A = this chain, B = another copy of it.
Amino acid sequence: MGKKVGVLLSGCGVFDGAEIHEAVLTLLYLDQNGAEIVCMSPDMPQAHVINHLTQQEMKGETRNVLVESARIARGNIKNLKDVKAGDIDALILPGGFGAAKNLSEFAFKGPMGNVQPDVKRLIDEMLDAKKPIGAICIAPATLGMAAKEKKPEMTIGKEEQVIGAMNAIGVKHKVCAVDEIAVDAKNKIVTTPAYMLGPGIKDVAKGIEKLVKQIISMI
């Protein structure tokens, strides 16, 4: 029996959902390393829909986070509200703005905004159970908001505004290159900057592969 690793998706597309490359690379390296994948996503409307060609909002259009996440998961996905920490051995949050728009209010209200209730619940359960959590790209913002009482150490790229926001809620920031990971051994939290730094898919793949291997080794 492989180790069960949850992948928490936030939609399908970098500007309003889960970053597709980061999500697929997470699935690739989990499968290559023998993990059983459990995709999940909250059943709720997206914060908004962005036209990825023009980067403009598609006013009046609504999409559901779970339904769009199902595109990345090829339909094999659970409703987040039905997933408990007891169901999985570890959890990984790929990035994309959806992680900071749908899984929390970070993109709109900063680090004092709310975390989506089931995201907060599952992260709390994972921390209590001392099960490892990985977060990629901008997803450490939401993880940091949920886990701030643990004062985790994480990497979240190099934008001073983002780093400052995380510091303000007690997150320690570690500078990492795109092919590196930050490991908070005490809290079992692993992060990598991915497309916060880029530049290309082969670069972000290196950090994500390391993150997946580290997460599996901490189970």
Contacts and interface: CB of A to CB of B under 8 A. Distances in A.
Interface residues on A, range: 20 to 34
A202 interface: yes
The SS class assigned to the A binding surface is helix
Contact of A13 (B12, B25, B53, B55): B12
Given A24-B24, A72-B20, A74-B14, A53 B67 contact: yes
A20 B25 CA distance: 11
A28 B202 contact: yes
A27 interface: yes
Contacts of A12: 12-13, 20, 71
Nearest to A29: B202
Contacts of A68: 52
Interface string A15-26: 101011100110
Interface in A3-19: 12-15, 17, 19
Copies of this chain, whole number: 2
Given A12-B71, A13-B12, A24 B201 contact: yes
Interface in A39-95: 51-53, 55, 66-68, 70-75, 77
Contacts of A13: 12, 71
A14 B201 contact: no
Contacts of A51: 67, 70
A53 B24 contact: no
Interface of A: 12-15, 17, 19-21, 24-25, 27-28, 31-32, 51-53, 55, 66-68, 70-75, 77, 195, 200-202, 205
22 contacts: A12-B12, A12-B71, A14-B71, A14-B75, A15-B75, A20-B24, A20-B71, A20-B72, A21-B27, A21-B28, A24-B24, A24-B201, A28-B202, A28-B205, A31-B200, A31-B201, A51-B67, A52-B71, A53-B67, A53-B75, A55-B75, A74-B195
